[in-house]
Amino acid sequence: MKQEATQAIVSVKKETTSAISEEISVLKEMIEQMSSGYQANEYPAGIDELSKELGGHGVTDAIRYRLMKKLMEQFVLTDEQPSSMSKNETWREQLKELLLNELQPYPIKAISFDKQVLQLVGPTGVGKTTTIAKLAAEATLKKQLKVALITTDTYRIAAVEQLKTYAKILELPLEVAYTVDDLQKAKEKFKEYDLIMIDSAGRNFTDKAYVEELSKVIDFQAEATTCLVLSLTSKYEDMKKIIEQFSLVQMEQVIFTKLDETASLGALLNIPLEKKLGIAYISNGQNVPDDLFTPTASFIVEQVLRGSKHD
């Protein structure tokens, strides 16, 4: 009991500390911006509109301040502009260029399937199982890989049935792992396969003891690719909490789902630029296997800076 209480305090403390450090970074950006000689309300109207457009998508204040500051310094104050374009059009294009540059360090590309294990983790109902089915179809049909499926989501009977249905349609073997021991056995059984895809229940990966036990069976670093699945319909504040909850597992990329259900796409920028995670796929519907694609940085930039004429 005492240990649980201590753990709870430690985790609350951790959350508070990270919230404070984020606040500090926003403040730092704002101070920097003020000391640079101009303020948000002093932007030329066109720049202010671009900032608001990003804000409308839920792009964070800190990112917007940084971008607008760069835009002002690099382009506006130097008044660089091709004569054939209006200022506003030029600034939009220059902001796109800046954003492409900002996104460059983060892997916005498909999973290479070069590691034998691919596990999708994430909160309840985001689309993990559906995405596994889509990816299994891609790996089998397009890449001609020998794919096997394992599910560790045994909390709901329906969850197992759902994956069984996809396994049957795609003619792939499926093992249901109730324990880490079962998982070990299933992995052994599928050792000759090119790709073993593991579907999980959201809660698995937030349990430290489970993740530790699991890491004895799967070498997360050497043999597994782990992707966090996030729904674009979630608020960014909630996504940040989810990322923290799943911080026990190392991952480089997220998969976004439910693009078809929202017009607010700030997370496509916030997650790479603030959380330093790349994007492997975007799911835009319930159809297996069609509604899944790999975005490019240009696609993301175009989505968040489409301007009102496309709305």
CA 152/CA 201 separation, integer angstroms: 7
Q: Catalog residues that contact ligand GTP under the rule CB under 6 A.
A: 124-130, 153, 159, 162, 202, 257-258, 260-261, 283-286, 291
Determine the interface stretch with Mg ion among 93-101, 139-147, 151-159, 172-180 (rule: CB under 5 A): 151-159
Residue 64 interacts with, from Mg ion, ligand GTP, none (CB under 5-8 Å by kind)? none
DSSP 40: G
Residue 304 interacts with, from Mg ion, ligand GTP, none (CB under 5-8 Å by kind)? none
Q: ∠ CA(29), CA(33), CA(34), 5° rounding?
A: 120
> Do residues 71 and 54 touch, judged by C-beta distance below 8 A?
no
By C-beta, is 163 or 297 nearer to ligand GTP? 163
* Contact string 77-116 vs Mg ion (x = CB under 5 A): ----------------------------------------
Decide: is 131 part of the binding site for Mg ion (CB under 5 A): no
Helix (H, G, I), strand (E, B) or coil at 230: strand
Helix (H, G, I), strand (E, B) or coil at 232: coil
Residue recorded with tokens 């506003």: 88
CA 142/CA 134 separation, integer angstroms: 11
By C-beta, is 37 or 125 nearer to ligand GTP? 125
Nearest distance from C-beta of residue 255 to ligand GTP, angstroms: 10
> Do residues 198 and 129 touch, judged by C-beta distance below 8 A?
no
Nearest distance from C-beta of residue 149 to ligand GTP, angstroms: 13
Residue 284 interacts with, from ligand GTP, Mg ion, none (CB under 5-8 Å by kind)? ligand GTP
CA 197/CA 139 separation, integer angstroms: 10
CA 287/CA 125 separation, integer angstroms: 16
Report 155-174 residues binding Mg ion (CB under 5 A): 159
> Exactly one of 90, 94, 129, 253 binds Mg ion (CB under 5 A); which one?
129
Q: Which residue is nearest to Mg ion (CB)?
A: 129
Using DSSP bridges, classify how beta strands 292-293 and 224-231 pair: parallel, antiparallel or unpaired: unpaired
CA 150/CA 122 separation, integer angstroms: 16
Total residues found in the chain within this entry: 311
By C-beta, is 147 or 159 nearer to ligand GTP? 159
Residue 125 interacts with, from Mg ion, ligand GTP, none (CB under 5-8 Å by kind)? ligand GTP
Phi, psi for 287 (deg, rounded to 5): -75, 125
By C-beta, is 99 or 133 nearer to Mg ion? 133
Nearest distance from C-beta of residue 127 to ligand GTP, angstroms: 3
Residues that bind Mg ion (CB under 5 A): 128-129, 159
